[in-house]
Amino acid sequence: MTPDELRKEILDKVSQYYQLSFANRKKGFIHCSGKDFDAEELKYGVEAILDGWWTDGRFADRFIEEFQKVIPAKYIILVNSGSSANLLALFSLTSHLIPEERRLQPGDEVMTLAAGFPTTVNPIILAQCIPVFLDIEMDTLNIDVTQLEQALSPKTKAVFIAHTLGNPFPADKVRAFCTMHNLWLIEDCCDALGAAYQDKPVGTFGDIATFSFYPAHQVTMGEGGAVITNDDSLDKIAKSLRDWGRDCWCKTGKDNTCGMRFAHQQGDLPFGYDHKYIFSHLGFNLKLTDMQAAIGYAQIQKLPLFLQKRREHFQQLAAFFSDYMNYFSFPKANGSPSWFGFTLTIKPGCPFTRNEIIGYLQAHGIGTRLLFGGNLTRQPYFKNQNIAYRSFPLPNTDYVMDNSFWVGVQPNLTDGDMAKIIEVFIGFLHLYQKISKKENDL
């Protein structure tokens, strides 16, 4: 048997394995997020192992090609998580290659949101810059753009915000504000792959944008992420920072792309010092493996189907909850969202609390999540690390921290799962209405 024949046999067995182990899986608990996959993900993942290459390789190239069909960015820099993508995006703006007046330096301010995920904000703090927190609008849970002008100071250098739970922020307005004041815009699209605003994909408004491929997101690699940009210089900087800070820009496994590997003269280094070992940035290693990229390659081809399912599930829940607007609000679409979840906010004066409803849902097999860290400035790490920041009053952020939660819309939910989610909500609301009626009758 040749290696190719054996490989084919292994892959056929992997398909059989998928059929036996996963194809007819029954869900018990309905989680609020989760991946959807078939035999392709397992086969490509196994192929990447059988290739014996393992670090960023042919599957990473294929993934990038597919990704570029979704978002036409000039450069797509793959990394090992969305948090790494955020770290890389922000630190790229600190490079010595950026002109001093635009370079992020300690003490500079970066506008962001407190309502969100910590690793959107943490890179700002790690770069010794000052996060400036703006509030959100209640009807989209996105940045309140009316605060941008007021928040501006002579130290402001960038705006770094996420498209909350896949619903685009007013990207035209934020872009125009950044252009007018010569600020960088970093778009955190970790929850929003596939969303569009004014018919342009999110991620194309910023100078640089980030994505996550954690299993909760629109496509997964298990763990993974990407930074995208159209800027030649930012691409070069981001790749250097991702790859240990090296000056060399050869792809993994390639040598001498510059044609002068042993002919560089830089600083105090001996002439001809191997370019592979010249380090021009204070770097990290944030690269992904080809096994991750292989899984992602299978996933990204299914994105249109995944998005359609997410939208259908959101619509089903929206139709149901439109009869309960006295108790709840849910986000209004801004552009064309790629919904990450269905968020419910309990209205003021509602007779039950968030803890009562999420406790009931949990006990009846329905998972929920909150809007991540709520108001991040109230999280223990802000006090524990004595983090310096500037903030607007954040009444809406605080309201959401106390009153919002979300349930899943991910593509692996079946019609039966969606019916069960609605049935459990009905159960809670009826139970609640009965209790309130009894209390009124007493």
Ligand X SMILES: Cc1ncc(COP(=O)(O)O)c(C=O)c1O
Q: Which stretch binds ligand X (CB under 6 A): 21-29, 111-119, 309-317, 418-426?
A: 111-119
Q: Which stretch binds ligand X (CB under 6 A): 33-41, 81-89, 137-145, 417-425?
A: 81-89
For 381, the 3-state DSSP assignment is: helix
Q: How far is the CB of 218 from ligand X (least distance, A)?
A: 11
Measured from the CB atom, the residue of 88 and 421 that comes closer to ligand X is: 88
118-177 binders of ligand X (CB under 6 A): 119-120, 162
Q: Does 117 bind ligand X (CB under 6 A)?
A: yes
Q: Are 367 and 435 in contact (CB under 8 A)?
A: no
Q: Which stretch binds ligand X (CB under 6 A): 80-88, 104-112, 355-363, 401-409?
A: 80-88
Given the residues 31, 217, 275, 313, the one annotated as active site = 217
Q: How far is the CB of 165 from ligand X (least distance, A)?
A: 8
Q: Are 343 and 165 in contact (CB under 8 A)?
A: yes
Measured from the CB atom, the residue of 162 and 358 that comes closer to ligand X is: 162
For 166, the 3-state DSSP assignment is: helix
Structure tokens at 318: 């929206």
For 30, the 3-state DSSP assignment is: strand
Q: Give the residue, chosen from 81, 112, 220, 377, that forms a contact with ligand X under the rule CB under 6 A.
A: 81
Q: Does 314 bind ligand X (CB under 6 A)?
A: no
Measured from the CB atom, the residue of 14 and 400 that comes closer to ligand X is: 400
- Give the residue at shortest CB distance from ligand X: 82
Q: How far is the CB of 210 from ligand X (least distance, A)?
A: 7
Q: Give the residue, chosen from 47, 191, 207, 243, that forms a contact with ligand X under the rule CB under 6 A.
A: 191
Measured from the CB atom, the residue of 194 and 225 that comes closer to ligand X is: 225
What residue has token string 């010794």?
Answer: 128
Q: Give the residue, chosen from 167, 212, 289, 345, that forms a contact with ligand X under the rule CB under 6 A.
A: 212
Q: How far is the CB of 18 from ligand X (least distance, A)?
A: 25
Q: Give the residue, chosen from 123, 168, 215, 225, that forms a contact with ligand X under the rule CB under 6 A.
A: 225
DSSP 99-136: -TTTS--TT-EEEEESBS-HHHHHHHHHTT-EEEEE-B
Amino acid at 322: S
Measured from the CB atom, the residue of 156 and 212 that comes closer to ligand X is: 212
Q: Which stretch binds ligand X (CB under 6 A): 171-179, 186-194, 263-271, 383-391?
A: 186-194
Structure tokens at 57: 């390789």
What residue has token string 């968020």?
Answer: 343
Name the residue among 341, 100, 120, 292 with its Cα closest to residue 209.
120
Residue 238 CA: distances (Å) to CA of 79, 85, 196, 264:
10, 9, 25, 21
For strands 156-162 and 184-188, give the pairing: parallel
Is 163 designated active site?
no
Q: Give the residue, chosen from 188, 243, 290, 417, that forms a contact with ligand X under the rule CB under 6 A.
A: 188
Q: Residues touching ligand X: how many (CB under 6 A)?
A: 15
Q: Which stretch binds ligand X (CB under 6 A): 51-59, 82-90, 100-108, 318-326?
A: 82-90
Measured from the CB atom, the residue of 39 and 196 that comes closer to ligand X is: 196
400-429 binders of ligand X (CB under 6 A): none
Q: Which stretch binds ligand X (CB under 6 A): 27-35, 117-125, 281-289, 433-441?
A: 117-125
Q: Give the residue, chosen from 214, 327, 339, 425, that forms a contact with ligand X under the rule CB under 6 A.
A: 214
Q: Which are the contacts of 218, defined by CB distance < 8 A and separation ≥ 6? A: 166, 192, 193, 194, 303, 306, 307, 310, 338, 340
CA dihedral 154, 85, 66, 287 (to 10 degrees): 140
CA dihedral 41, 411, 424, 349 (to 10 degrees): 120
CA dist., res. 225 & res. 230, Å (int): 17
Residue 256 CA: distances (Å) to CA of 248, 250, 272, 274, 300:
9, 7, 12, 10, 32
Q: Does 190 bind ligand X (CB under 6 A)?
A: yes
Catalytic residues: 217
Which residues contribute to the site for ligand X (CB under 6 A)?
81-83, 86, 116-117, 119-120, 162, 188, 190-191, 212, 214, 225
